[in-house]
Amino acid sequence: MPDRNRCGCPPLPLETLYNARDLGGYPVAGGRATVCGRFVRTDAPVRLSDTDRLTLLAYPVSLVVDLRSRSEISHLPHQLKGQPGIVYHHIPLLGADLESDLARLQQQDVLNRLTLADLYRHMLDQSQAAIGAVMTVLAAETTGARLFNCSHGKDRTGLIAALLLGLAGVPQEQIVADYQISEVYLKPWFRQFIRQVPRHERHFFQTPARYMQDTLAYLTQRYRSAADYLSCCGVTPASQNQLVALLTEEAGRV
């Protein structure tokens, strides 16, 4: 796994977000790299210190897309919602009540057989309207950085990050590397409660490379490319071009 500090984007100096990083600094064709300060992926900002809140406002984060379910938000509201200069959007990627859906799957003994790669493939096939809405919002005209998050910042957030990087032409091995970083960043936090999680469910708190590798292989096999897939989701060519420009073009050229 590459050292993200050497990819071009300095780490975000945050103490109350465990899994935050900028999508800048990844290689694209022509010897260029994705641009820092445009897209930030994080776990849910629900326990922000005043210092971290001010850091994000100064970055500056100007747009937030919260991928969590309505039930998750009702328990832990987003602390950037309503902050000055920030436009907040709630677009759930896995339905309105995640806890009820997971409980239903557990009763059916489905969770024991599922992997996270299965979940990612499910989202690619069944959450296209939501993914299309997310990408259209992220492409909207605004200055500053666009922040998107789910709960832990690794699964729903990881899929959106993979699609953005794939659309920009970042090599698959780098997309996988960005995904794997979550396992490193979240390990100290997960270590606090993982023993309380049933052993057969602990794989949901890991991000081995094979999960994203399998997902990208499925994306290529079924949809050909990130651009073709996003077209299936209703993301217009203009919005896709805007996303690529945001990811790859220096300030003043977007």
Q: Where are the beta strands (DSSP E) in the chain?
A: 21-22, 27-28, 32-33, 39-42, 61-66, 87-90, 145-149
User: How many residues would you count in the chain?
Assistant: 254
Residue (of 42, 45, 135, 61) closest to 93 by Cα position = 135
Range with the poorest average pLDDT among 39-48, 115-124, 188-197: 188-197
CA distance 59 to 38: 10
**If you average pLDDT over residues 33-45, what whole number do you get?**
97
Q: What is the pLDDT of residue 109?
A: 46
Residue 45 has pLDDT above 60, yes or no: yes
Query: What structural domains does the chain harbor?
Result: 17-229 (3.90.190.10)
The pLDDT confidence band at residue 20, using thresholds 50, 70 and 90, is very high
- pLDDT tens-digit map of 206-234: 778 999 999 999 999 999 999 999 999 99
The pLDDT confidence band at residue 7, using thresholds 50, 70 and 90, is low
Would you say 130 and 91 are in contact if contact means Cβ atoms under 8 Å apart? yes
Residue 88 has pLDDT above 70, yes or no: yes
Q: What is the pLDDT of residue 4?
A: 46
Q: Which residues of 123-158 are buried (b: 16+ CB within 10 A; e: fewer)?
A: bbeebbebbbbbbbbbbeeeebbbbbbbbbbbbbbb
Would you say 178 and 26 are in contact if contact means Cβ atoms under 8 Å apart? yes
Would you say 24 and 6 are in contact if contact means Cβ atoms under 8 Å apart? no
pTM of this prediction exceeds 0.95: no
Please state whether the peptide bond connecting residue 45 to the residue before it is cis, i.e. omega within 30 degrees of 0: no
CA distance 213 to 156: 16
Q: What is the pLDDT of residue 114?
A: 76
Mean pLDDT of the chain: 87
Residue 248 has pLDDT above 50, yes or no: yes
Tokens encoding 159: 């899929």
- In the residue annotation, 150 being an active-site residue is answered as yes
Q: Name the catalytic one among 9, 150, 232, 233.
A: 150
Q: What is the pLDDT of residue 142?
A: 86
Instruction: For residue 234, give the 3-state DSSP assignment.
Output: coil
Residue 186 has pLDDT above 90, yes or no: no
Q: What is the pLDDT of residue 3?
A: 44
